[in-house]
Amino acid sequence: MKVLDLTQTVSGRTMVYPGTEPAELTPANTLERDGFRETRLRLYSHTGTHMDAPAHMLPDAPYLDELDAAQFCGKGYVLDCAPLGAGGRVTAEMLRAVPELRTVDFLLLHTGWDAFWGTPDYFGAFPVLTVEAAQVLAKLGLKGVAVDAMSVDPMDSTEFPVHHVLFEHGILSIENLCNLSEVCGQTVWFAALPLKFQQSDGAPVRAICITDD
């Protein structure tokens, strides 16, 4: 069994969506002064590797803390989208050609964009789902869609149509994963457990996958 960490580390330099304030990690207690260490965290709910709840964009939709913990784990299939390149689109036809999607709980999109983490290129034209592809996923009853990029919609999107299709069908969005290149084309056991706080429209997660290697 191999456990692969798919999570970006949160720091004061962690990349955030344009317009979002960066995270602040401040020593609150120190060994020298207090005999123990404690850190004050100040960060937005969609910082780093994180999960979006349907309540992120829809009225009267569930928050993460209202969902059963079983919603955050299950079998996932890792689809290699990196060959599509900048501006690429994952189409409905592409998804219909993947039989594994009928037997899993999560679709993990490997765009390869985690290679640009920490650089301006990370905000570029990473491959994304088309709206029609999102509608195909909606019919499969997935628990979530995850991606190693900033969003499931293009960076220049203002209407966020893919988010809306997913959320309207109770499908979670997990963003800013990393290391998916190691499991491309595989079915894995996937878990992304969000920090549980009241009315969590989104939350940082520790995302992992487990393989039989």
Show which residues are catalytic: 56
Q: Evaluate whether 38 touches 28 at the Cβ level (below 8 Å).
A: yes
**Tokens for 116?**
């640009």
Look at phi and psi of residue 119 and say left if phi exceeds 0, alpha if psi is from -120 to 50, else beta.
Answer: beta
Which one, of 172, 176, 206, 137, lies nearest residue 66 by Cα?
172
